Amino acid sequence: MPLQYLLASKKMRTGSIRPRRRGTGGKYERPLDDLRQKITTASLRERKLQHNPITCLTAYDYATARVVDEAGIDMVLVGDSLAQAMLGYENTLTVTMDEMLHHVKAVRRGVKSALLVADMPYGSYQIDPQSAVNNAARFVKEGGAEVVKIEGGEKRADLIRRIIDAEIPVAGHIGLTPQSVNVMGGYKVQGKNLAGIEQLMRDAVALDRAGVACMYLEGIPREVAAMITAEVSVPTIGIGAGPDCDGQVLVFHDILNLTFGPPAKFVRRYGDAAALITHAVQAFRADVRSHNYPSDEESYHLSKETKAGLDIVLERKRAMSR
| Residue 190 lies near ligand KIV (rule: CB under 6 A) | no
| Residue 58 lies near ligand KIV (rule: CB under 6 A) | yes
Question: Which three-class secondary structure state does DSSP give residue 44?
Answer: helix
Nearest distance from residue 236's CB to ligand KIV, in Å? 12
Ranges within 147-186 binding ligand KIV (CB under 6 A)? 173
| Residue 117 lies near ligand KIV (rule: CB under 6 A) | no
Nearest distance from residue 147's CB to ligand KIV, in Å? 12
| Residue 81 lies near ligand KIV (rule: CB under 6 A) | yes
What is the end-to-end Cα distance of the chain in Å, rounded?
24
Cβ proximity to ligand KIV, 221 vs 238, nearer residue:
238
Task: Using alpha carbons only, give the angle 38, 40, 46 rounded to the nearest 5 degrees.
Answer: 105
Cβ proximity to ligand KIV, 79 vs 153, nearer residue:
79
> Which are the contacts of 119, defined by CB distance < 8 A and separation ≥ 6?
77, 78, 79, 80, 81, 100, 148, 149
**Piece in contact with ligand KIV (CB under 6 A), picked from 26-34, 77-85, 93-101, 225-233:** 77-85
Active-site entry in 99, 142, 218, 315: 218
Cβ count near 241 (within 10 Å)? 30
Cβ proximity to ligand KIV, 148 vs 227, nearer residue:
148
- Catalytic residue at 218? yes
Ranges within 218-257 binding ligand KIV (CB under 6 A)? 218, 239, 249, 251
DSSP β-bridge partners for residue 176: none
| Residue 80 lies near ligand KIV (rule: CB under 6 A) | yes
Question: CA nearest 124: which of 134, 115, 116?
Answer: 134
| Per-residue buried b or exposed e for 26-42, using 16+ beta carbons within 10 Å of the residue's own CB | eeeeeeeeeeeeebebe
Q: How far is CA 142 from CA 106, 185, 195, in A?
A: 11, 35, 41
Cβ proximity to ligand KIV, 7 vs 123, nearer residue:
123
CA dist., res. 269 & res. 253, Å (int): 9
**Piece in contact with ligand KIV (CB under 6 A), picked from 6-14, 38-46, 76-84, 278-286:** 76-84
CA dist., res. 280 & res. 297, Å (int): 20
Nearest distance from residue 223's CB to ligand KIV, in Å? 20
Instruction: Lay out the site mask for ligand KIV across 5-44 (x = CB under 6 A, - = otherwise).
Output: ----------------------------------------
CA dist., res. 159 & res. 217, Å (int): 19
State which residue has the least CB distance to ligand KIV.
79
- Name the residues annotated as catalytic: 218
Give the interface with ligand KIV as residue ranges (CB under 6 A).
58, 77, 79-81, 119, 173, 216, 218, 239, 249, 251
